[in-house]
Amino acid sequence: MIEAKMKWAGGIKFEGKGAFGHTIVTDGSKKAGGGEDGYEPTELMLFSIASCTGVDVVMILEKQRQKLTSLEIEVKAHQNDHYPKPFHTVEVKYIARGENLDEKKLAKAIELSESRYCSVSQTVVNQGKVVTSYEILPE
């Protein structure tokens, strides 16, 4: 199980601390009532997709003895115009550099990540179930 906890920090800003002790801040645009003091929550999902699949691709290419020197992942998400504005299309572009990289091995590494290993991509693609609960504590 993986956990995340965010605490309201006023306005529409929230702060959380990760498993390794790093702080993350989310906020909204000034137009939306935020202070632009952190990441937009939807941005974090895109960063999560990029880093999750990136880890897989790097590890798979290392096992295939490919000499990767650079990997950038660009993620663009297209949303509906009306709330709740779910992503209807997510574009992922991999930009790899290395010594004599084998295109077939790169393509296979990407396919394996997206179809088998990256839990973030799989959740987005399969629209995982969200279970909600709440509690109210006294002051």
For the chain, the domains span 1-39, 40-126
In the prediction, which pLDDT does 130 show?
A: 59
Interval 55-71 mean pLDDT: 95
CATH of domain 1-39: 2.20.25
In the prediction, which pLDDT does 17 show?
A: 94
Cα angle value 76/80/82 (rounded, 5°): 140
Distances (CA, A) of 24 to 3, 11, 29: 14, 16, 16
Distances (CA, A) of 116 to 52, 103, 108, 110, 122: 12, 20, 11, 10, 8
Three-state secondary structure call for residue 118: coil
Angle in degrees, 0-180, between the axes of helices 41-63 and 103-112, rounded to the nearest 10: 130
Topology, domain 40-126: GMP Synthetase; Chain A, domain 3 (3.30.300)
Range in 65-69, 81-85, 119-123, 135-139 with the lowest mean pLDDT? 135-139
Max Cα–Cα distance, the chain, nearest Å? 63
List Cβ neighbours of 78 (8 Å cut-off, separation of 6 or more): 87, 88, 89, 90, 91
pTM value > 0.85 = no
54 pLDDT exceeds 90?
A: yes
